[in-house]
Structure 1
Amino acid sequence: MTSVTEKKWWHNAVVYQIYPRSFMDTNGDGVGDLAGIIEKLDYLQTLGINVIWLSPVFRSPMDDNGYDISDYQDIAAEFGTLAEMEQLIAEAARRDIRILMDLVVNHTSDEHPWFIEARKSKDNPYRDYYVWRSPAADGGPPNDYRSHFGGSGWEYDEATQEYYLHQFTRRQPDLNWENPKVQQEVHQMMNWWLDKGIGGFRMDVIDLIGKEVDKQIMANGANLHPLLQQMNRATFGQRDVLTVGETWSATPEIARLYSDPAREELSMVFQFEHIIQTWDAKLGKWRSKPFELLTFKSVIDKWQTGLAECGWNSLFWNNHDLPRAVSKFGDPDRYRIESAKLLATVLHGLKGTPYIYQGEEIGMTNVRFDNIEAYRDVESHNRYQEFLASGVSHEEMMAGIYANGRDNARTPVQWNDQPNAGFTRGEPWIGVNANYHEINVAAALHDPDSIFYHYQRLIQLRKEHDILVYGDYQMLLADHPQLFAYQRTLGDRWLLVIGNFSGDPLELDLPEGLQHLSGECLSANYAPRDGWQEKLAMQPWEAFMLMLRRP
């Protein structure tokens, strides 16, 4: 029996993330824009999604591609105008699609008026909107805190002779959330957007706003959850919207604090434990470890069971910061289509709200540019220089960028086989993946057996079968090194999901309880199957969902 006490519209929703810079360009400047998103709303309606998570489109100098905001209540000129943003909200609503804005409030741009004022003098009214500290005794930074993007997390301000904190680039100064005025300003801005009819917020690195700077406790600080509860009361708590927090530091126990409805914080969080399983202990994502299904399954299982009684899971393989799903977890060379469909099947059968990243629905892959100069991501460039200086070779750093660099997700959406994949008639801001002649939306829409239509079917299934939304989850065959199998149960209904995470066929003697089963095949990436006897035979990267009849 489901533990969800109150059903929400976002429980059976599927969210589609758009990285606007790379989605669709209509004016030929090489940068995707709001008009391009409006133009493709019918495509997204055909796919069947309910929500668009829109990466930041606010005014920004684009030091970190929009995650450095200089005006929360205006739109960056390269994306369009505030009027076009309002048009997008309205046009999406006409298609029963809600817009999720990206809330970036751990930090601002150094061009935000607050920071421009703050650095004028130590007694400026906006000074305490940010985190400032005096130099250490030797004149250096206050402590040895390192930025997530490399180098010191402190930047010296010559005019006032103090350092300000930046957890990301030096042009992204951290806001001081201990200041009630910062809280009030952010809440006012959030309500301004909510009043425009948006469907909620994706909250960028929200686990960092409760930081205890002098203790170097940056994530999950003591004041984090009180701040979120206060935000809930002041803004979205009484509105029927979706809120999802980006929380790299979350455990299932912490995630329950965020998403237990009784605590009145967020709808759900993004956790990344399944993502970092392939990261090296020393160099992190810049040196990959082999993918191990047993470890991966145990992480998914931990989160499915950990949030079963309260809270809610977000389900995703990739986003704007991560490599392409089929390149990371599938087989992009030999079984791209089959493994992309498997990944979709296994993810959309789990309990939680699925997220699709643009291009995932056609099986877009990682990119391999010839040289570091072709990459645009500030993190990749900073880490490349830092690690080379420490003795890591150029070849090893490029291998890390090829595997996990953020630009893998940021090459333009491949709409057709025309120049620049139909993304722009100008020069694209970043190179297009060379495989766009074979992998593109136009080809997918003309192929009834494409990855696109597989996703479309899975999205529809969540609307037709509440067992996929509210059914209890249980892992099966937990020790099998190739199979990812689990069941969902709701009342007298029983759904089985099985995927072969391997390029090898297999035949398995099934244990009691999984023998002599039959039912209705809801989804399959090979020929549909209606059951089996004592043995289960599976093709490379085969996956299916079977609604079972009790024996």
Structure 2
Amino acid sequence: MGVKIIDDKIEIITELWNKLYSDNHKLEILLEFLKSKKDSFTYTPNDKFWYKKGLVYSTYVDLFAGNFDKMKEKLDYLSNLGVTILWLLPILQSPMKDQGFDISDFYKVRDELGGNESFFEFINLAHEKGIKILFDVAINHTSDEQPWFQEAKKSKDSKYRNYYIWSDTDKKYSQARLLFKGMVNSNWTYNAETKDYYFHRFYEIQPDLNYKNPDVLIEMIKVFTFWKEHGVDGFRMDAAPFLWKEEGTNCENLIQTHWILKIFRAALDYLKEGTALIAEANQPPKDVVAYFGNSDECQVAYHFPVMPKIFLSIAEGNPNYVIDTLSKRVTPPIPENCQWFVFLRCHDELTLEFVDPEERAKMLKYYLLDERWNFREGEGIAGRLYNQMGKDYKKVLLAYSILFSLDGTPINYYGDEIGMENDEEFYRKMTEKIGHKDSRFFNRGPFDEEKRKEALNNTDSDSYKIFHGIKKMLDLKKENEDLFSEKPIYENINGVFKVTRKKGNKSIVIYNNLTAESRSLDSINLQPHEYFWKIS
């Protein structure tokens, strides 16, 4: 049976390759590489569906701890909270002009974080404590300081020239939207050395890779393999929808992009199953479900639209915003072995891309409490959860109770569990450094050690109430893992978001009172913005 599965993976890679490329010699190189690596894996996760339960904790290593040696000391804190998956925001070599999403060496952890050896030690220690590791790889582009690009821009005859996308004019791919409207005014930047333009969907310091060149695909598979060999459990593939460009299209979600991701998946599964691919596709769910394929592409995707709907539902005391977004009409069913990651906040803004104009106006009215939090001309609101909830710890905990009620694996953004606040100083410092205002830096400051101490020791503090409230809910989730693997039933009963799960004679019902008034339901009295978990 094992041999058959392995041959199937090679067959899948070959079939998809032939749809993308005509170069069979390069295919042989890829298959030889994979076969040579097949027996080099000592670590494998004990449960290949590890991404379907527990809590993801998302953080920057430098801002959270400084480096990987100090991160080791933080593992007990994370474990105590209930973290089972650690999502490390960019850690690879980078000039850090875009918080590390501009990678200059795919094989090297930044020296200031401790380099590769320190990271490998950290992975082993995390695994001992039952914590899986996933990290960000920007697979659509590199830094302009990446040696491939440095070579490519010198000469049209460079060996690496075709690793990137060049044009004599800046008119090609004219239907590709500007992703950083107001900050970047063209997807093309002039290169004086070769008197032409290179293509980039993000900042001009991030030239897009050219996946029409099979060498680029092989190169990325080698990158994934290297980190998989060293125990990395999963990869968040930043900017996944943009890989393939085709004239006359918007260059997003193209079928060729899906073929590339399926090749990545088949290659990793061929080597050893258990490595998760996470699609960072900031799109409506009906488009995102395509990234699961037929359980043969990404195992995980982010559910972006539910985030603003949780905020709207709390602001208006109306669970229907969340219930409608999770209905089959908006969120189609996904394959059984796949999973949504759901979240309240992340390193980016609270996105308003997926709300209608009326809802966007409401969100800006309720949550844009400071004009400086505005992101991309009203398309998002930056800032910390605690600030956005008006520093009301009850609302923060209610938001977490809603999040933990949902179908999907929840993410906690570092510091939100202790009620961290917007970092004015970090925002000011980064604005000076990069030369323009990016409101996301309010929610990207260093971890607040003082608040952590309060969260653990000062029972009167909001930090303590938030931390221990979250921990209690996570403990209940862990004790009732079998119930939480069941599909929930969502109901709106007079502004109470009631979520029910049953298995055999066991049940868990979560009551979230989204209103500013008291509510009584099923013999339970709920204060304004109170939640209650009933297990029977």
TM-score with structure 2 setting the length: 0.76
1:154 alignment counterpart: 188
* Counterpart selection for 1:177 from 200, 203, 211: 211
Sort the Cα spacing of 1:303 and 1:46 in 2 relative to 1 into closer, same or farther, 3 A.
farther
* Counterpart selection for 2:346 from 310, 313, 319: 319
CA–CA distance in structure 2, aligned partners of residues 175 and 7 of structure 1:
31
* Counterpart selection for 2:305 from 254, 259, 273: 273
Map residues 510-521 of structure 1 onto 2, 5 A cutoff.
Answer: 515=522
* Counterpart selection for 1:450 from 452, 465, 468: 465
The alignment partner of 2:197 has SS state of strand
Tell me, yes or no, if structure 1 residue 342 matches structure 2 residue 398: yes
1:195 alignment counterpart: 229
Residue 162 of structure 1 and its aligned partner are, at CA, apart by 1.2
Tell me, yes or no, if structure 1 residue 505 matches structure 2 residue 493: no
Residue 115 of structure 1 and its aligned partner are, at CA, apart by 0.6
Contact 1:60-1:68 at 8 Å conserved across structures: yes
The alignment partner of 2:111 has SS state of coil
Contact 2:401-2:531 at 8 Å conserved across structures: yes
Residue 537 of structure 1 and its aligned partner are, at CA, apart by 3.8
Tell me, yes or no, if structure 1 residue 208 matches structure 2 residue 242: yes
Contact 1:58-1:74 at 8 Å conserved across structures: yes
* Counterpart selection for 1:69 from 98, 103, 108: 103
CA–CA distance in structure 1, aligned partners of residues 302 and 432 of structure 2:
22
Residue 244 of structure 1 and its aligned partner are, at CA, apart by 1.5
Residue 105 of structure 1 and its aligned partner are, at CA, apart by 1.1
CA–CA distance in structure 2, aligned partners of residues 303 and 177 of structure 1:
34
1:13 alignment counterpart: 54
Contact 1:304-1:313 at 8 Å conserved across structures: no
Could you tell me which amino acid in structure 1 is paired with residue 64 of structure 2?
F
1:545 alignment counterpart: 533
Q: RMSD between aligned alpha carbons?
A: 3.0
Residue 442 of structure 1 and its aligned partner are, at CA, apart by 0.6
* Counterpart selection for 2:389 from 313, 322, 330: 330
CA–CA distance in structure 2, aligned partners of residues 101 and 94 of structure 1:
18
Contact 1:325-1:365 at 8 Å conserved across structures: yes
Contact 1:320-1:409 at 8 Å conserved across structures: yes
Residue 116 of structure 1 and its aligned partner are, at CA, apart by 0.9
2:444 alignment counterpart: 410
The alignment partner of 2:298 has SS state of coil
Sort the Cα spacing of 1:83 and 1:450 in 2 relative to 1 into closer, same or farther, 3 A.
same
Sort the Cα spacing of 1:7 and 1:117 in 2 relative to 1 into closer, same or farther, 3 A.
closer
Could you tell me which amino acid in structure 1 is paired with residue 452 of structure 2?
V
Residue 277 of structure 1 and its aligned partner are, at CA, apart by 5.8
Could you tell me which amino acid in structure 2 is paired with residue 354 of structure 1?
P
Tell me, yes or no, if structure 1 residue 492 matches structure 2 residue 525: no
The alignment partner of 1:306 has SS state of coil
- Post-superposition Cα deviations, 1:54-74, rounded to whole Å, max 9, x if no partner, equal 111111111101110000111
Tell me, yes or no, if structure 1 residue 358 matches structure 2 residue 369: no
- Post-superposition Cα deviations, 1:7-44, rounded to whole Å, max 9, x if no partner, equal 822222211111123112xxxxxxx3222212211211
Could you tell me which amino acid in structure 1 is paired with residue 344 of structure 2?
W
2:10 alignment counterpart: none
CA–CA distance in structure 2, aligned partners of residues 44 and 158 of structure 1:
49
Could you tell me which amino acid in structure 2 is paired with residue 444 of structure 1?
A
1:246 alignment counterpart: 280
The alignment partner of 2:212 has SS state of coil
CA–CA distance in structure 1, aligned partners of residues 324 and 413 of structure 2:
24
CA–CA distance in structure 2, aligned partners of residues 211 and 52 of structure 1:
32
Map residues 120-159 of structure 1 onto 2, 5 A cutoff.
Answer: 120-135=154-169, 143=174, 145-148=177-180, 149-159=183-193
Could you tell me which amino acid in structure 2 is paired with residue 269 of structure 1?
A
What percent identity do the matched residue pairs reach? 28
1:57 alignment counterpart: 91
Q: How many residue pairs were aligned? A: 447
Of stretches 229-238 and 189-198 in structure 1, the one that deviates more from structure 2 is 229-238
Tell me, yes or no, if structure 1 residue 255 matches structure 2 residue 288: yes
1:218 alignment counterpart: 251
Which structure: greater helix fraction?
A: 2
Residue 329 of structure 1 and its aligned partner are, at CA, apart by 6.0
1:167 alignment counterpart: 201
TM-score with structure 1 setting the length: 0.74
CA–CA distance in structure 2, aligned partners of residues 56 and 377 of structure 1:
21
Residue 109 of structure 1 and its aligned partner are, at CA, apart by 0.3
Contact 2:95-2:104 at 8 Å conserved across structures: yes
Contact 2:383-2:440 at 8 Å conserved across structures: no
- Post-superposition Cα deviations, 1:290-315, rounded to whole Å, max 9, x if no partner, equal 99754344224459963366442211
1:104 alignment counterpart: 138
CA–CA distance in structure 2, aligned partners of residues 290 and 16 of structure 1:
29
- Post-superposition Cα deviations, 1:422-465, rounded to whole Å, max 9, x if no partner, equal xxxxxxxxxxxxxxxxxx11111114662222222222333221
CA–CA distance in structure 2, aligned partners of residues 189 and 501 of structure 1:
46
CA–CA distance in structure 1, aligned partners of residues 397 and 408 of structure 2:
19
Could you tell me which amino acid in structure 1 is paired with residue 243 of structure 2?
I
The alignment partner of 1:355 has SS state of strand
* Counterpart selection for 1:462 from 472, 477, 482: 477
Could you tell me which amino acid in structure 2 is paired with residue 346 of structure 1?
I
- Post-superposition Cα deviations, 1:307-346, rounded to whole Å, max 9, x if no partner, equal 36644221111111134563476342xx22x122212211
Contact 2:345-2:385 at 8 Å conserved across structures: no
CA–CA distance in structure 2, aligned partners of residues 64 and 353 of structure 1:
27
1:82 alignment counterpart: 116
CA–CA distance in structure 2, aligned partners of residues 69 and 473 of structure 1:
40
1:476 alignment counterpart: 491
Contact 1:64-1:378 at 8 Å conserved across structures: no
Contact 1:15-1:51 at 8 Å conserved across structures: yes
Contiguous gaps of at least 5 residues in structure 1: 1-5, 25-31, 280-288, 385-400, 417-439, 516-531
1:94 alignment counterpart: 128
Residue 141 of structure 1 and its aligned partner are, at CA, apart by 7.6
CA–CA distance in structure 1, aligned partners of residues 420 and 428 of structure 2:
22
